[in-house]
């Protein structure tokens, strides 16, 4: 049967529109199956705990299981690479942190560009770190520590979770701004036991990692790294009170492979922002030392770009190379 030209054109146009319509329909019904949130850190780390809190909330609000999958290694680059290469259909997400931003400068041959290849979905929270010393260190304030370090150049060891980690870079900024000579000691496993034992003298861990040790007096907190004091440690001064202009905070959010549809990203963004208004979620985040970071995908993207630029300067100045 020969179709009239007008009917043929209508059918052709309709067929061409089918793939686009199919994509829109999928986005509108998303999710229809379980979703992976890939985390570049081991189970039990603060990032993993936050990921599981958000996964549970998203499972309840969106009606499908959100499952945390841990892929630690290479300073979270293994997990990032897995999501960069994943199909951009919303079923493989990445827990993004400040480490992703600093890795962009610290590593020369990643095989991906974090800002280009991971689409920002939503922020979850910001978290201050804290400058802590072993009780064996005589200094009880930041000025006293600076004097102690200057009186013992090269004899004070600064521990971190690894070269290029936030704890390392935040410590390097402290060194640059105060002129102290302290020796960086990177750890592949937790450095907390050695810090408690006095094998290393100072560290810049997350508040959540050491808050119980601070409360029990096993570690001495000298200052938080945020610009101002934080609610979870209200009696601990901010480093900026002694070192003008110092500010260093971490953050956590969700990213997706680039080219993930705007509808899917918007669905996730709204669900995460709604979770951050829940008093129970806010209380759990506060217990871990996090303050909510609710924003739009565009705002989160700008936040990441600015953070990457700021800390890229520190990474280059300290000549930090990722391992």
Q: Residue 276 in contact with residue 294, Cβ under 8 Å?
A: yes
Would you place residue 287 in the very low, low, confident or very high pLDDT band (cuts 50, 70, 90)? Answer: confident
Q: Is the pLDDT of residue 131 over 60?
A: yes
User: Which residue reads 């603060």 in tokens?
Assistant: 46
- Look at 4-13, 248-257, 260-269 and tell me which has the smallest mean pLDDT: 4-13
Query: What pLDDT sits at residue 43?
Result: 85
176-183 average pLDDT score: 96
Q: Is the pLDDT of residue 17 over 90?
A: no
Q: Residue 211 in contact with residue 131, Cβ under 8 Å?
A: no
Share of the chain above pLDDT 90, in %: 77
Q: CA–CA separation, 14 vs 98, rounded Å? A: 46
Domain spans of the chain? Answer: 34-127+250-317, 130-241
Q: Is the pLDDT of residue 304 over 70?
A: yes
Q: CA–CA separation, 209 vs 289, rounded Å? A: 9
224-245 average pLDDT score: 94
Q: Is the pLDDT of residue 232 over 90?
A: no
Backbone angles phi, psi at 64, to 5 degrees: -135, 155
Q: Is the pLDDT of residue 99 over 80?
A: yes
Query: What pLDDT sits at residue 3?
Result: 46
Q: CA–CA separation, 261 vs 88, rounded Å? A: 8
Q: Is the pLDDT of residue 41 over 70?
A: yes
Would you place residue 28 in the very low, low, confident or very high pLDDT band (cuts 50, 70, 90)? Answer: low
Alpha helix (H) ranges present in the chain? 5-29, 46-62, 77-84, 98-106, 114-117, 142-151, 166-178, 192-197, 207-215, 262-275, 279-287, 297-317
Query: What pLDDT sits at residue 108?
Result: 85
Q: Provide the CATH number for the domain formed by 130-241 in this structure.
A: 3.40.190.10
CATH topology identical between 34-127+250-317 and 130-241: yes
Of 12 and 143, the one with more pLDDT = 143
Query: What pLDDT sits at residue 313?
Result: 94
Contacts by residues 60-63 (CB-CB < 8 Å, ≥ 24 positions apart): 61/271, 61/274, 61/275, 62/31, 62/267, 62/271, 63/31
Cα-based distances in Å from 266 to 123, 174, 252: 13, 38, 18
186-202 average pLDDT score: 91
Query: What pLDDT sits at residue 162?
Result: 84
Q: Is the pLDDT of residue 16 over 70?
A: no
Query: What pLDDT sits at residue 315?
Result: 94
Share of the chain above pLDDT 70, in %: 91
Average pLDDT, the chain: 90
Q: Is the pLDDT of residue 19 over 60?
A: no
Angle ∠(61,302,264) on CA atoms, nearest 5: 30
Q: CA–CA separation, 40 vs 137, rounded Å? A: 33
Would you place residue 33 in the very low, low, confident or very high pLDDT band (cuts 50, 70, 90)? Answer: very high
Q: Is the pLDDT of residue 4 over 80?
A: no
Q: Is the pLDDT of residue 270 over 90?
A: yes
Q: Is the pLDDT of residue 237 over 80?
A: yes
Q: Is the pLDDT of residue 226 over 60?
A: yes
Which CATH class, in words, describes the domain spanning 34-127+250-317? Answer: alpha beta
């Amino acid at each position: 049967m020969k179709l009239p030209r007008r009917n043929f054109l209508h059918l052709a146009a309709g067929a061409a529109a089918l793939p686009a319509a199919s994509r829109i329909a999928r986005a509108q019904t998303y999710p229809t199956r379980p979703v992976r949130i890939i985390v570049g850190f081991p189970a039990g780390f603060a990032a993993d705990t936050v990921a599981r809190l958000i996964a549970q909330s998203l499972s309840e609000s969106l009606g499908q299981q959100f499952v945390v999958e841990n892929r630690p290694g290479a300073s979270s680059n293994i997990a990032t690479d897995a999501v960069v290469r994943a199909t951009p259909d919303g079923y493989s997400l990445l827990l993004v942190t400040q480490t992703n931003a600093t890795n962009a400068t610290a590593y020369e041959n990643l095989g991906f560009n974090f800002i280009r290849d991971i689409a920002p979905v939503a922020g979850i929270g910001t978290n201050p770190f804290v400058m802590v010393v072993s009780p064996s260190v005589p200094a009880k304030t930041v000025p006293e520590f600076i004097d102690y370090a200057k009186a013992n150049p090269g004899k004070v060891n600064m521990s971190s979770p690894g070269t290029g980690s936030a704890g390392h870079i935040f410590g390097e900024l402290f060194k640059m701004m105060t002129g102290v000579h302290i020796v960086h000691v990177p750890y592949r496993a937790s450095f907390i036991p050695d810090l408690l034992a006095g094998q290393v003298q100072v560290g810049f861990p997350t508040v959540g990692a050491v808050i119980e040790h601070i409360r029990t007096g096993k570690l001495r907190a000298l200052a938080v790294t945020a610009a101002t004091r934080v609610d979870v440690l209200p009696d601990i001064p901010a480093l900026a009170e002694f070192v003008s202009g110092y500010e260093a905070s971490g953050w956590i959010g969700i990213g997706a492979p680039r080219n993930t549809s705007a509808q899917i990203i918007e669905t996730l963004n709204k669900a995460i922002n709604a979770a951050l208004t829940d008093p129970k979620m806010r209380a759990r985040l506060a217990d871990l030392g996090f303050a909510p970071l609710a924003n739009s995908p565009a705002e989160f993207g700008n936040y990441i770009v600015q953070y990457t630029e700021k800390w890229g300067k520190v990474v280059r100045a300290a000549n930090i190379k990722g391992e």
